[in-house]
Structure formats: structure tokens, C-alpha cells
Structure 1
């Protein structure tokens, strides 16, 4: 059985660690032997020196684990931004030193990591891209971006998924009596929350009884509340600052439409995936994730970035067409099955096996080109 050194995040971070990582670790134990390790910040307010000495301690601890356990591959959960890239260089060096292949799952990539003018970050980035054995990204669009910008990563990039909780698969659809639109996200402008708010008056012109529920909190929440009052929309709009997964499932159950007009590239926005699993018809922008997995008119309706009228038109189309809502709901639930624990853990196991089919050389690892086990048609 393959033995995997698996990176788990610290549980003391604000908001808690991403639950999908612990779900993946648990699911992987059905297919591989998992050895957990920590490499990363331990609190939200670490000083520069705490970061430096903290990662040095992590490196020493990881070295001890590698000496004690003859692992086959290292699975590191990270991001592709300047800070994460610099942080990960020592770990990639350690993997190279021990001649262990290292697979880095990227949970988000920032444009500045592609175009940085910092010589230090550029050298660190190039080192990680050269000596990491494989990378996991959350969409085919993101994979293409990496391979276009860094041709040396071709053959190293794998498209992976995050696991969805069973809670959302088990949602029983029962639309509310009044037309209802749901938004769930952190309240920052680039998530499209104000675009959706400004689209509401146009929707109400044709659907005056429509309800809009906004779930979330964040730096722009207070401004949002002021805008709702200034626009005199209190009758049709309510905001809930925080709800449990069970409560969120209730809103997914009754919503006619899930609207998420984000401006971010969004590798895999969990709220979209959760709405998909719950069978909610979706209105969203053409993000990395939606372009990779969702078809216009089959799984969602696309809207233009920042276009209030486009958002209103897409919402009105769904509110006025019950057959289309049912069709999108059924297609989304079918698509969401590929994000289950069983499906995702099997895909990761296949990726580990493909990486372990490489030729080991003194300077690192050369990939033997094998089919990407998660590849399927990309919708563009």
C-alpha cells in the first residue's frame, strides 16, 4: 500500500481549517497509508520572526518524520502566491534531499505569483516549479494558465477536486412559495455582492414578491446593510451573518436560484459546489471552475462581470421558467457526484500512482507522461 505523508493545517486558525482537507485525509485512508504532518502558520497573527522560526521547526519535525517513516510520496496543501512560494522552498528542498516525490495541491493561485518582479520570489517560484514532482489545481482553466505561463509544468499539472459534505447531497428540494434568490459568501465587493444588490430593483419590477437572502459576513457587510436601507429594500432583502451547515442546507432547499456573480477567478468556490450538490439552479460568472465543469443552459446561466442588467436578466429567466429550473437542478446533482468522498479519494490515489511511475534522478524527478486520471472535456 502506498504510504503518503499528508499535510494537515493547524486547527487554531480563525474560521477553522478547511473541512474538505480533513475529509480527504479520512477518505484517503481507505486507499493508502496516511502519515500526517504540519507545515505552515500556527496562528493568524504570527510575526515575521515567528514565521521564520516556526517554519524552521516545521522543517526539522518533517525531517524527523521522514527519517522514521519510509513514505512513498509527500502531499503538501498550499497556495500559489508569493508568501506561500517562499515558504514552500525549504520543504521542496527537503523532499529533493530525501529523494521523495512531492505533490503540491494548490488551493488558489494569485496573478502576482505569475507576474512578480521580485527576484527573490521569481527564483523561489522557479525552484518550486522545477523540483516539485506534481501539482494539483482545481480547474482546467487554471491548469491551462499554468502550462501557458510555465511550459515546464506540462505533464506535472493535475486537475483535482475538493470533497463535498454529505449534508449538501442529502438536501431535499422544496421551493419556497415566493420566488427566492440565495447568495452565500464572505462580504467583500469582489464577490459580486453589490452587483447582485444593485440588480434587485430590476428583478422586482417583474417579480415584486421575490425574496433575496444573503448569508455571510465580512469587511463590506456594514456598507451592504446601509445600502439595503438606502435603497428601501428591507422588505425583500435579509442578511444573515453566520449560519451552520444545517441551516445553510435549509436555504439551499428552498431557494429558486443561487446567485454568485463573483469577480474572482475562483478555482473551486465551495458555495457553488455546495449549491450544485443541493440541486439549486445557479447564476454565476464564467470563473475558472464554472468554465471547466459547467455548461451554459445545462448547469447554470452565465452573467457578465459587474453587469447588473445581465445578472437581473439571468435571475428573471430562471424565476420565470420552472422547467428550466428542474432541468438545471437535476444536471447539477448529477455533476456533483464527481465531488464525493469516494470519487475524489480514488482520483487522488490514481494521481499518486501516476507520479510514482516516474524515473528518479540525482537532480530531482522527471515525469513519465501518463494520462491525467481526472481529465475530461473542458467547457469553454
Structure 2
């Protein structure tokens, strides 16, 4: 099978740039003939002006078109999302690249399909075009699928997919995380792009409750973004400077070290992303987890087997962290189950699942 994959550029934000390259290498290792073209571009420093964005979309579509004219592919795999911007880009790109006989598969890395239930004329036309032209869609969660079906998409075209995770691929088979006693000092970990929906401020406020209850801890906040200034002010206001640390953006190797040296991962997100890689990295290395019951966490994780579910209320976040700190047996069992479950996210396992999806789409 010959596959053309639309990849994120190396300066892209978020999970795809971490998950897709090892996934593609795993496809090749399983015998697939895979070609790559950059399809998704990053806007790390500042938003790209509209004219430049339009120029980039057109250039990318015609680059794909030349590739498709010169070679025969069985399937085009496009890594994308679903919001107004990507709806415009994807419908225009597929129209211009002229896939010919190749099937089109879109892997959705986060979606806001629910925002289009009262879509205007243009948006509705573009949605209808994708409904007709796309042969398969990979979504991470049942909530996302339901939102697409409400727009008129064909249920038979949907496949549940996961992202490849590599953080644990070199762990020995008998690896186990040592668990502390409840009187020890705990290393709490929050990793994300710092935006309001990720729950950083709520996590910091939960830490005030932990301090008041007499628990020994440090919260390491790994990442950066628009919410950092507000988070630092909140730390000062609550007098938590000795308890909360900010690393800023650090190399991936250093982020990995935090996953291995921490005791509890805290991620009370309300963001609409499909499959948050940081959450599943934490699971894959056997961290006990406190997170919200939304999207991928709701579909793939169980309580108390893999995590404790919290609301976004600081008091509830704090109670769930305390429950983990006070129950060593719970942490041991959760860690062991997460290590086992995490093996299903290794690139070869994910690649096998996708190859089966591709075969079904191509008939």
C-alpha cells in the first residue's frame, strides 16, 4: 500500500509533531510505502497574517497536486483539526490537489464540530463537500464522533484512533515506579501549553488547599503560554513561591525527566483537544493521574484503575490529589495498570491499527 501523509511542520504546536513522525516510521517498518509532505504549519511566535496563510495553503495544495500527478497513491492521510480555519483549508486543499483515485483519510487532532450546528451558507457548503469527498475520518473520542454525525457525516466513515507515544518505548519489561509514603514530599506535575482552558490556575489554587492541610509537595509547571503571567501572579498572591516552580519551555528530553521523577500528574483541562499527548505520556510511564472526565480521558481511562477524575474546582482537584497521597496502595495499583495500558500506544501497535483502517477504506 502506498500512502501520502500530510505532516505537521517541525515548528508546529501540540501533539501531532510528537506523535506523527514515529508513527510514520512504524508504518514503514511494517512494510507500507509512505511518502511525506508538510501539510500543517506552526504559528509559534505570532499568528500568521491572512494573506500569508492563503499563500501557504495554495502552495501546499499545488505541491500535493504535483506529487499526485507524478505518482500513484492508494491513500492520502491528512493530519488536521476541525474548526473554521481548518474547514476552509481542508476543503480548498482537497479540491485543488485533485486526489484522483486516491482515497482521502483525515485524522482529526481536536475538533469543534459542535460549533457548526447552525452553520451559515458557506460553512454548510464546505462541510457538505467534505462529507462527499472524504473517505474516512479518524477521531479520538465518541463525543467528537457524535458532533460530526449531528452535521450529517456518514457514521460508516468514522474510525476511533489513538496517537503514538514513545516516552516509554525503552522501559524494561519489569519496570515499576516506586511509591512514596504519605508523609514524604510529593512532586506534582503539570505539563501543557499555558492557556486558560488547561486548568493551570485551578491547579495552583488547589495547591493552596494542600498547604493548608499540611501536605508536603512541590508543583512543577512545565511549559509556557498566555496564562503564565496570571499564574505567576496567583502564586505570589497565595504565597506559594516556595511550593510552585515554572520551568518555561524546556527541551523534550528535560520534559521527559519530569515525567519520570514526578509522583502525581495533575491535568484538570476543559480544552476541546481530542487526545492530549501529555496526559497519555503520564499514563504510559505509570504516573498516578488526576484529570477531568472529558473527551479522550472519558473514553480511554477508568477510575480508579487509571486515574481519579476531578472537576475544575480547586477544592475537588485538591481532594483527589490528597486521596492519592494518602493511599499508597491505590497509587501502586494505578501505576501498574497505566504501565500495562501504555504499551498499546507504542508506535508499532498504533501503526498496525491504522494499516487495518487504511485497508478497510481502500477496499
Scaled by the length of structure 2, what TM-score is found? Answer: 0.90
3-state DSSP of counterpart to 2:107: strand
CA 1:57–1:247 in 2, change beyond 3 Å: closer, same or farther? closer
Is the 8 Å Cα contact of residues 4 and 76 (structure 2) preserved in structure 1? yes
How many residues are paired up? 354
- Whether 1:144 aligns to 2:146 is yes
CA deviation digits over 1:172-219, x for unaligned, max 9? Answer: 634564122111112222111111111112222334322222112111
- Whether 1:33 aligns to 2:37 is no
C-alpha distance in 2 between matches for 1:244 and 1:259: 20
Scaled by the length of structure 1, what TM-score is found? Answer: 0.86
C-alpha distance in 2 between matches for 1:137 and 1:15: 16
1:308 corresponding residue in structure 2: 314
Task: Note the C-alpha offset of 1:112.
Answer: 5.9
Task: Note the C-alpha offset of 1:155.
Answer: 0.6
Is the 8 Å Cα contact of residues 27 and 345 (structure 1) preserved in structure 2? yes
C-alpha distance in 2 between matches for 1:338 and 1:45: 36
Is the 8 Å Cα contact of residues 172 and 278 (structure 1) preserved in structure 2? no
State which drifts further: 138-147 or 222-231. 138-147
C-alpha distance in 1 between matches for 2:268 and 2:42: 33
C-alpha distance in 2 between matches for 1:314 and 1:88: 41
CA 1:240–1:252 in 2, change beyond 3 Å: closer, same or farther? same
Is the 8 Å Cα contact of residues 80 and 108 (structure 1) preserved in structure 2? yes
Pick aligned residue for 1:225 from 211, 229, 232: 232
3-state DSSP of counterpart to 2:8: coil
**TM alignment of 1:181-260, pairs within 5 A:** 181-260=188-267
Is the 8 Å Cα contact of residues 109 and 273 (structure 2) preserved in structure 1? no
The unaligned stretches of length 5 or more in structure 2 are none
State which drifts further: 256-265 or 348-357. 256-265
1:340 corresponding residue in structure 2: 346
Is the 8 Å Cα contact of residues 37 and 62 (structure 1) preserved in structure 2? yes
1:373 corresponding residue in structure 2: none
1:331 corresponding residue in structure 2: 337
CA deviation digits over 1:259-308, x for unaligned, max 9? Answer: 1011113311111101001100000001101111001111000011x222
C-alpha distance in 1 between matches for 2:250 and 2:235: 20
3-state DSSP of counterpart to 2:29: coil
- Whether 1:289 aligns to 2:296 is yes
1:153 corresponding residue in structure 2: 154
- Dislocated runs of 4+, deviation >6 Å: 14-17
